[in-house]
Amino acid sequence: MNTAVKGKKLSVECAVSPVTVGLLNMLDTISHWIDDIPPVDQPQRYGNTAFRDFYAKLKENGEQVVKEALSEDFHAAVPEITVYLLESVGNSTRIDYGTGHELSFILFLTCIFKIGALKQEDSIAVVTKIFMRYLTLSRKLQMVYKMEPAGSQGVWSLDDYQFIPFIWGSSQLQMNPKIAPEMFSNEKIVNENADEYMFLACIKFILSVKTGPFAEHSNQLWNISGVQSWSKINQGLIKMYKAEVLHKFPVVQHMLFGSILSISPAKEITYHPPGTEISSMRNPSMSSATGGQGFMPPRASAVASQGRVSMTDRMPVHISQMSKMPQDLPFNDISSVMPPVSKTPQGLSTVDKVSSNMLTTSKTSLPCAEERHPAMSPLNSLPPDIFPKATKHTQ
């Protein structure tokens, strides 16, 4: 999906299959149910209990609307697929919505692809039409029933509710000559292009529900605006999604498995690393000269042939080192990372004698620890004559 919409607007012409039309009609039907079940008056600010009535109606009629969207050949899989659709609208107990519920809708679409109802040629329409219609539906649920963000990190999260639209939206903006990354916080640019790009549509929604400086209420997005290119933003968001969503137990513990999406370990998969078209991408087969941290997992055979990769249920060794800052970065020029330190003692009225090593210039090759000021090197013992003795000045 990410590759399919690369550089394409939401209004791009694409193949629209009968299944796509059926899924769009299904989402429209669910949206009409929200209109039929208005929020109730209650003292609580968040979590309107009318959502539970909506959830009960979807649970009762979910299989029927999915059957209407799919042809009769796929009706045998409907009971299992409908579970993911039901989980994609939020939690009826807590009345909240988060990236885990968004993931459930991705699993819902995955199941439809796996049973063969959706084809590879439907990928563009799935993003630009089906997922956008779901995004509109989820925002309607959030606003009407005042749903709480599920597991949100507040100002330090990418968004209170969504994540996938930022990934696919950044793919849309790749190679865009008019909209640079630093421009997406500009309200004028957002309003002019929100209808064509999913990323900017998300920014527009954030600006409509939050007040104050953008750098304060959306600090993570503000930091992303400093990245040089949309391709780097796209690759970084994919890695962030794996770390913050797929690798988080509180999220994946709610994932359901069955005959279509099995919990059994995969024997082989087709691996498509993100951003393989970027010439500057690091080769995954590189040896871990710097500890292997910050690099992709070693899958040299997959990148070399884009073919089959054997899978095992053993935990890779490098997993424990992921998301850690490398501690042995190969800095060749010490002066580029350490500020120059004055060798002359400070605060002395007169100096009797200064040892020769205190006047050593940068031509002398000393270890980094010895180049630093003594106060910055607590691990090294101080020589007794490191500071010159001060003599009393007689008038």
Q: Find all residues with CB under 8 Å of 169, minimum gap 6, and list them.
A: 197, 198, 199, 200, 201, 202
- Name the architecture of domain 18-252: Up-down Bundle (1.20)
Q: Which residue has the tokens 């079940």?
A: 37
Question: How far is the C-alpha of 260 from the C-alpha of 266, rounded, in Å?
Answer: 13
Most confident of 37-51, 324-338, 364-378: 37-51
More confident site: 281 or 173: 173
* Amino acid 250: pLDDT: 87
Instruction: Give the chain's mean pLDDT.
Output: 77
* Amino acid 211: pLDDT: 86
**29-43, 201-215, 237-251, 319-333: range with lowest mean pLDDT:** 319-333
Say if residues 297 and 284 touch (Cβ distance below 8 Å): yes
* Amino acid 111: pLDDT: 96
Say if residues 171 and 128 touch (Cβ distance below 8 Å): no
Question: How far is the C-alpha of 58 from the C-alpha of 61, rounded, in Å?
Answer: 5
* Confidence band for 55, pLDDT divided at 50, 70 and 90: very high
Q: What are the backbone dihedrals phi and psi of residue 314, each rounded to the nearest 5 degrees, phi first?
A: -85, 140
More confident site: 157 or 252: 252
Q: What is the pTM of this model?
A: 0.68
Count of residues in the chain: 395
Question: Is the pLDDT reported for residue 168 higher than 90?
Answer: yes
* Confidence band for 45, pLDDT divided at 50, 70 and 90: confident
In this prediction, residues 172-181 reach a mean pLDDT of 92
Say if residues 151 and 98 touch (Cβ distance below 8 Å): yes
What per-residue string of b and e applies to 289-324 under the rule 16 or more CB within 10 Å gives b?
A: eeebbebbebeeebbeeeeeeeeeeeeeeeeeebee
Q: Which residue has the tokens 């039409």?
A: 129
In angstroms, how far is CA 175 from the centroid of its own chain? 20
Question: Is the pLDDT reported for residue 33 higher than 50?
Answer: yes
Nearest to 142 by CA among 12, 51, 21: 51
**What DSSP state is assigned to residue 73?**
G
Question: Is the pLDDT reported for residue 19 higher than 60?
Answer: yes
Domain assignments of the chain as residue spans, ordered by start: 18-252
Question: Is the pLDDT reported for residue 4 higher than 70?
Answer: yes
Q: Find all residues with CB under 8 Å of 138, minimum gap 6, and list them.
A: 88, 89, 97, 101, 102, 161, 162
In this prediction, residues 116-131 reach a mean pLDDT of 95
pLDDT tens-place string over residues 293-344: 333 333 344 434 444 444 444 444 444 444 444 444 444 444 444 444 444 4
pLDDT tens-place string over residues 63-119: 999 999 999 999 999 999 999 999 999 999 999 999 999 999 999 999 999 999 999
